Amino acid sequence: MSENPSHSNDLAPSGGEARRKPRVAVVFGGRSSEHAISVVTAGAVLRAIDRTKYDVLPIGITTDGRWALTADEPDRMAIADRKLPSVADLAESAEGGVVLPVDPANREVVYSEPGSVPKALGEVDVVFPMLHGPYGEDGTLQGLLELSGVPYVGSGVLASAVGQDKEYMKRVFTSFGLPVGPYVTIRPREWEQDPSAARKKIVDFAGEHGWPLFVKPARAGSSIGITKVDDLSGLDEAIAEAQRHDPKILVESLLRGREIECGVLEFEDGPRASVPAEIPPVSAHDFYDFEAKYIDSATGLVPAPLTDEQTAEVRRLAVEAFDAASCEGLVRADFFLTEDGEFVINEINTMPGFTPISMYPRMWQETGVGYPELVDRLIQAALRRSTGLR
């Protein structure tokens, strides 16, 4: 099933004039619990970028926040024998650091090591931020790039922050009339000052919507820190696990139905939705958790076995969610198709998993946009945009 969207090359030289290749800094890793998945994702992107068209500068952020110059070796950035990769294993120096200037008039990246003269690495034309979770996907890195005046792939500060915080994401969707499932939020102060009252709030929620519940960090991804809780006895342990990743937690009721995903990609004429995919139940896991996604490589069905009407509806809702959160570049929108036949949006990911076997690229492959073209389109969209309020 292919729709073959047209593709234009905005940066191709014209009239036979030589032109410097745009320089793409692929930034990955980071301080969040999704560090390893970011490294895996970046490896796939580095492998796919057309080196005849772009110069590439790989920059890894270690788990303690150091920006490191890394080897441009995608094969070392994959999960091997169930071992997760890290920036520390790829960094060219254990102490050297990369500095991005906070000056819109100067895009030159500098590398320095203790006791050595800083070395200019050249100008960067666009950043491809392959970071997941806090300190990267949540608007913090996007704010730094806005200050630096460097264009970047993906959503801006507001949309990135909304997309990371599941509570406010749901509030935005509700305000735009998009259907969301029942949830309750426990903020850090509530739990610290009166855990009994916070626990009762969750129990009352379960009394209204039933068990099981899903307890999750409000600002994390890749299904990290999520626990399915069948009754009150497992609640405190689930809260502690979620709070290891974020002091604010979200508690959701079980929505019985099918898990449907849909990709949104920004084209020259606006956002379009891909064919949807379905995540079937994973027999070895209670739900589609981190191990099912990345270690056991559970795969979805692309395209999802839906009726034409259902396909059209979920694609419409995916674009509406993209617009509601003021997103740019790309989004993966995740839905439940309930037993009543209604699509309920669960969340959006403003920088979804991006390996060739990840759902977002697979959906676009089926829609007619292959992986290298997908990477190219995102870089081109970023180059067309200027930084600043948007």
Same domain, 207 and 246: yes
What are the φ and ψ backbone dihedral angles of 85, each rounded to 5 degrees? -80, 165
Between the CA of residue 356 and those of 50, 60, 197, 233, 360, what are the distances in Å?
15, 20, 46, 40, 9
The answer for residues whose C-beta is within 8 angstroms of residue 251's C-beta and 6 or more apart is: 183, 184, 185, 186, 202, 205, 213, 214, 215, 216
pLDDT of residue 204: 97
Same domain, 349 and 379: yes
Averaged pLDDT for residues 284-292: 51
Averaged pLDDT for residues 76-85: 87
Give the model confidence (pLDDT) of 30-77 as tens digits. 998 889 989 999 999 999 999 999 999 999 999 999 999 998 999 999
Reply yes or no on whether the pLDDT at 287 is more than 60: no
What are the φ and ψ backbone dihedral angles of 87, each rounded to 5 degrees? -65, -35
pLDDT of residue 18: 56
Q: How far apart are the first and last CA of the chain?
A: 35
Residues 26, 84: Cα–Cα separation, whole Å: 19
The answer for residues whose C-beta is within 8 angstroms of residue 2's C-beta and 6 or more apart is: 366, 367, 368
Reply yes or no on whether the pLDDT at 180 is more than 60: yes
Is cis: bond before 212, omega within 30 of 0? yes
- Residue 114 — pLDDT band, cuts 50, 70, 90? confident
Q: Flag whether 275 is in a domain.
A: yes
Reply yes or no on whether the pLDDT at 234 is more than 80: yes
Residue 333, beta-bridge partner list: 262, 348
Reply yes or no on whether the pLDDT at 378 is more than 60: yes
Task: Show the domain range for 142.
Answer: 23-154
204: helix, strand or coil: helix
Sign of the dihedral defined by the CA atoms of residues 116, 121, 122, 126, in that order: negative
Strands 277-279 and 330-338 come out as unpaired
Q: Flag whether 334 is in a domain.
A: yes
Same domain, 103 and 120: yes
What are the φ and ψ backbone dihedral angles of 294, each rounded to 5 degrees? -110, -30
Between the CA of residue 12 and those of 21, 142, 146, what are the distances in Å?
9, 27, 26
Q: Flag whether 17 is in a domain.
A: no
Strand blocks (E) in the chain = 23-29, 55-61, 67-69, 97-99, 108-112, 119-123, 126-130, 183-186, 213-217, 227-229, 249-253, 257-267, 270-273, 277-279, 330-338, 343-349
Same domain, 142 and 45: yes
**Strand-by-strand arrangement of the 213-217 sheet:** 183-186, 249-253, 213-217, 227-229
Reply yes or no on whether the pLDDT at 295 is more than 80: no
Same domain, 284 and 363: yes
Reply yes or no on whether the pLDDT at 219 is more than 60: yes
Q: Which of 106, 112, 66 is nearest to 90 (CA)?
A: 66
Q: How many domains does the chain divide into?
A: 3
Same domain, 376 and 276: yes
Averaged pLDDT for residues 224-236: 93
pLDDT of residue 1: 46
pLDDT of residue 388: 57
Q: Flag whether 1 is in a domain.
A: no
Q: Residue by residue, what is the 3-state secondary structure of 269-282? A: CEEEECCCEEECCC
For 285, counting Cβ atoms within 10 Å of its Cβ (0-12 exposed, 13-18 middle, 19+ buried), the class is middle
Q: The domain that contains 225 carries what CATH number? A: 3.30.1490.20
Between the CA of residue 242 and those of 30, 33, 223, what are the distances in Å?
19, 12, 10
Q: The domain that contains 117 carries what CATH number? A: 3.40.50.20
Q: Flag whether 10 is in a domain.
A: no
Total residue length of the chain:
390
DSSP-derived secondary structure letter, 224: T
Q: Flag whether 187 is in a domain.
A: yes
Same domain, 220 and 369: no
Averaged pLDDT for residues 349-357: 89
- Percent of the chain residues past pLDDT 90, beyond the cut: 73
Which of 208, 238, 253 is where one domain is finished?
253
Residues 378, 267: Cα–Cα separation, whole Å: 9
Residues 356, 362: Cα–Cα separation, whole Å: 7
Reply yes or no on whether the pLDDT at 11 is more than 60: no
Same domain, 143 and 169: no
- Residue 221 — pLDDT band, cuts 50, 70, 90? low
Which of 253, 273, 293 is where one domain is finished?
253
The answer for residues whose C-beta is within 8 angstroms of residue 72's C-beta and 6 or more apart is: 46, 56, 58
Same domain, 170 and 307: yes
- Residue 107 — pLDDT band, cuts 50, 70, 90? confident
Q: Flag whether 123 is in a domain.
A: yes
Least confident interval from 65-79, 133-147, 167-181, 286-300 = 286-300
Tokens of 62: 């270690």
Same domain, 212 and 259: no
If you average pLDDT over each of 59-73, 75-89, 100-114, 213-227, which comes out highest? 59-73
Same domain, 284 and 352: yes
Which of 204, 229, 253 is where one domain is finished?
253
Averaged pLDDT for residues 183-199: 97
Reply yes or no on whether the pLDDT at 17 is more than 60: no
Averaged pLDDT for residues 351-355: 89
Same domain, 111 and 217: no
pLDDT of residue 226: 93
Q: Flag whether 113 is in a domain.
A: yes
**Cα Rg, the chain, nearest whole Å:** 21
Residue 260, beta-bridge partner list: 278, 335
* C-beta atoms surrounding 312 within 10 Å: 12
pLDDT of residue 101: 78
As a whole number, the mean pLDDT across the chain is 89
- For residues 159-172, one letter each, b for 16 or more C-beta atoms within 10 angstroms of the residue's C-beta and e for the rest, the string is bbbbbbbbbbbbeb
Q: The domain that contains 315 carries what CATH number? A: 3.30.470.20
